[in-house]
């Protein structure tokens, strides 16, 4: 084949393999995408509790095969200490899902900006709400909670301390559940914010479960009392299932939390 024809052939083939811009995606059958639409290409990473060796690499490949993947390529295998190897594997998945049937539990409120929240608060709230927050149990991570509560806020979005409609008290980290309830009582809290980052062995869920009866049995606490949780592994569905009013995950902005508080509190206080 002459060189020019060969070049044109490669050009045509590579264009065919790219998704055409604007080409409609079949939302009833979506699957991971790498080079070509619906090729199922995925990157997986995991650790196996064995020393780095050719057998370890093969074990990683066999494991991914057992998960139902095909065209498996162990791209990287690295010893990460005695008895452990970390892998990066490229493989193709077979399964597709119907995106039109995917449902996610979301807190029902309109996301407002600072001025809109303040306008709604002027209309709906009779007084400033007391918002307290803590990271509970042994969890020492404070950055996420600070991002929501502190004046400076997060990603250019001012924190709750900036809102005149809230009186904000950040109790910071490693606050015991009992201390949190005592603080809620003393400060006459209307809203409790709890941040959980350490999720090992489900400790975050246990701490959150343990707090609820303590709040319930204390009849002197303000009512309504909004209980809101957040953290990188938190979802609204998990929070609601546990018995909380809302759950916020990664990337949450303070204005979203402020919008939820004003909306939900005014609904419950009716």
Q: Which of 129, 134, 139, 259 binds ligand B12 (CB under 6 A)?
A: 139
Q: Is 152 a catalytic residue?
A: yes
CB of 226 to ligand B12, least distance (A): 10
Give the nearer residue to ligand B12 in terms of CB position, either 18 or 140: 140
Q: Closest approach of Cβ 30 to ligand B12, in Å?
A: 27
Which residue has its beta carbon closest to ligand B12? 230
Cα–Cα separations (whole angstroms), residue 20 to 15, 23, 37, 159, 258: 8, 5, 10, 42, 41
CB of 153 to ligand B12, least distance (A): 9
Task: Report cis status (omega within 30 of 0) of the bond before 205.
Answer: no
User: Residues 74-113 vs ligand B12: string with x where CB under 6 A?
Assistant: ----------------------------------------
Nearer to ligand B12, 68 or 250 (CB): 250
Question: Which one of the listed residues 152, 220, 241, 270 is annotated catalytic?
Answer: 152
Q: What residues does 209 pair with on adjacent strands?
A: none
Establish if 151 lies at the interface with ligand B12 (CB under 6 A): no
**Crossing angle of the two packed helices 114-124 and 254-268, in degrees rounded to 10:** 10
Question: In the complex with ligand B12, which residue's Cβ is closer, 35 or 78?
Answer: 78
Instruction: Tell me: does residue 235 bind ligand B12 (CB under 6 A).
Output: no
Looking at 85, 177, 252, 255, which residue binds ligand B12 (CB under 6 A)? 252
What number of chain residues touch ligand B12 (CB under 6 A)? Answer: 29
Q: Does 140 bind ligand B12 (CB under 6 A)?
A: yes
Q: Is 248 in the site for ligand B12 (CB under 6 A)?
A: yes
Q: Which of 169, 191, 193, 262 forms a contact with ligand B12 (CB under 6 A)?
A: 193
| Residue 232 sits in the site that holds ligand B12 (CB under 6 A) | yes
Of 38, 199, 222, 235, the one binding ligand B12 by CB under 6 A: 199
Considering the complex, state which of residue 32 and residue 249 has its C-beta at the smaller distance from ligand B12. 249
Within 8 A by CB and 6+ apart from 51, the residues are 79, 82, 83, 84, 85
User: Which residues in this chain contact ligand B12 in the complex, by CB under 6 A?
Assistant: 138-145, 147-148, 154, 193-195, 197-200, 228-232, 248-252, 257
Residues labelled catalytic:
152
């Amino acid at each position: 084949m002459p060189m020019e024809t060969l070049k044109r052939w490669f050009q045509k083939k590579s264009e065919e393999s790219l998704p055409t811009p604007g080409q409609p995606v079949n939302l009833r059958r979506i699957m991971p995408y790498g080079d070509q639409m619906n090729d199922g290409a995925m990157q997986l990473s995991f650790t196996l509790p064995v020393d780095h060796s050719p057998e370890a690499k093969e074990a990683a490949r066999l494991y991914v095969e057992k998960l139902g993947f095909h065209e498996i390529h162990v791209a990287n295998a690295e010893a990460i200490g005695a008895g452990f190897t970390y892998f990066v594997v490229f493989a193709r998945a077979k399964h597709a899902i119907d995106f039109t049937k995917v449902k996610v539990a979301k807190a029902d409120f309109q996301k407002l900006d600072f001025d809109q929240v303040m306008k709604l608060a002027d209309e709906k709230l009779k007084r400033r709400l007391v918002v307290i927050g803590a990271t509970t149990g042994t969890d020492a991570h404070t950055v996420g909670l600070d991002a929501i509560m502190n004046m400076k806020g997060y990603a250019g979005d001012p924190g709750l301390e900036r809102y005149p409609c809230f009186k904000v008290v950040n109790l910071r980290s490693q606050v015991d559940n009992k201390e949190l309830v005592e603080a809620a009582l003393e400060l006459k809290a209307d809203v409790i914010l709890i941040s959980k980052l350490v999720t090992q062995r489900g400790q975050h869920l246990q701490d959150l479960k343990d707090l609820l009866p303590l709040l319930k049995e204390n009849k002197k606490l303000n009512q309504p009392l909004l209980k809101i949780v957040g953290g990188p592994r938190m979802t609204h569905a998990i929070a609601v299932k546990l018995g909380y009013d809302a759950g916020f995950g990664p990337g949450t902005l303070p204005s979203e939390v402020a919008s939820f508080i004003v909306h939900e509190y005014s609904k419950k206080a009716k």
